[in-house]
Amino acid sequence: MKKQILPLLLGLTLIGCAGVSKQDNTSVETFTVSEQSVTIPTRFSATLRAEGDADIVSPVRGKVVEQRIEIGSQVNKGDTLFIIEEAGSSAALNRAMANLKAAEEQERRVTSEYEIIKNLYAHDQVGEEMLNQAGEEYRMAKTATTQAKAAVWKADAERTKQIIYSPETGEIGNISTKVGEVVDANAVLATITEKSKMMLMRGCTDNEIHCTVEIPMQYDNVLIVPLNGIADIEGTPHVYKIGADGKPIATAVEIMKVADGQQVIVLSGLQAGDVIQLN
């Protein structure tokens, strides 16, 4: 590849926009296109990802009752990530809570009836036997409520819970569940990236560590043209290729800009040996 100065005889006259003729014999700078191999620093948006993210899985089928991490959380080995309530262990608790609700409703009804009967007894409208019977039903209802509460406490204490710990120190990259959701055994709950296994990957996705990197890229047998050889005509890149008659001809080209900003790779529109005019 080389640059050369090529005298161009631009004809006897140049027709200006106002129709003025002008005699001119001008030397312009030109560039001869050739195939080259070149290394160009190229910038990429990049993402830090792990070579092998570790999956956090549930050992049992059950409901997620606690989640102590968010996407991007930094965790240490042994930290608690999730608490899973094993399926079936909450059935006894649900029954106990339903029994408690029924006992409380019964107590409210019996208490209301007992208060009415006590008032009637005070005005000699009912006898002592009815008062004693209402009082006994009231005491039984209070006892049933107390027993139902104890059953709830017992069922809650006996629920089987699995604590999910972090297997390593790293960063939470993804979470696949939420509190209240029922998950199957071996379901992936989250992924964790071990810091020592981070590597550079081209391309970007959400919730990862973003950065911009400059990588030397090798291009073989390509046409490299100085940036000042490219002209923009109505939004399309062109070059002024010198024709056989020595006159420049506007020729559309497809280019790829490179990071240094001083040259471009011509993908189509030129071939090795063409001579272009520089601006």
pLDDT tens readout for residues 130-182: 999 999 999 999 999 999 998 888 887 777 788 899 988 888 988 999 999 99
| Phi, psi (deg, nearest 5) at residue 199 | -140, 165
Which of 205, 203, 208, 257 has its CA nearest to residue 232? 257
Task: Please give the tally of structural domains in the chain.
Answer: 3
**CATH at 261:** 2.40.420.20
Model pTM above 0.95: no
**Residue 7: pLDDT band with limits 50, 70, 90:** very low
Looking up tokens 């890149």 gives 237
Q: In angstroms, how far apart are the furthest CA atoms of the chain?
A: 136
Q: Both 62 and 97 in a single domain? A: no
Q: Both 79 and 169 in a single domain? A: yes
Q: Both 72 and 193 in a single domain? A: yes
Q: Both 113 and 146 in a single domain? A: yes
Percent of the chain with pLDDT over 70: 76
Full domain range(s) for residue 244:
2-45+211-277
Whether residue 206 lies inside any domain: the answer is no
Whether residue 176 lies inside any domain: the answer is yes
Give the chain's mean pLDDT. 79
pLDDT in tens, 207-253: 455 556 556 667 788 898 998 999 999 889 999 999 999 899 999 99
State which of 199, 219, 254 marks the end of a domain: 199
**CATH at 153:** 1.10.287
| Phi, psi (deg, nearest 5) at residue 58 | -85, 130
Measure the CA–CA gap between 120 and 172, rounded to whole angstroms. Answer: 69
Distances (CA, A) of 204 to 48, 198, 200: 9, 15, 11
pLDDT in tens, 27-49: 789 999 999 887 766 555 555 55
Measure the CA–CA gap between 196 and 273, rounded to whole angstroms. Answer: 51
Residue 134, H or E segment: helix 128-157
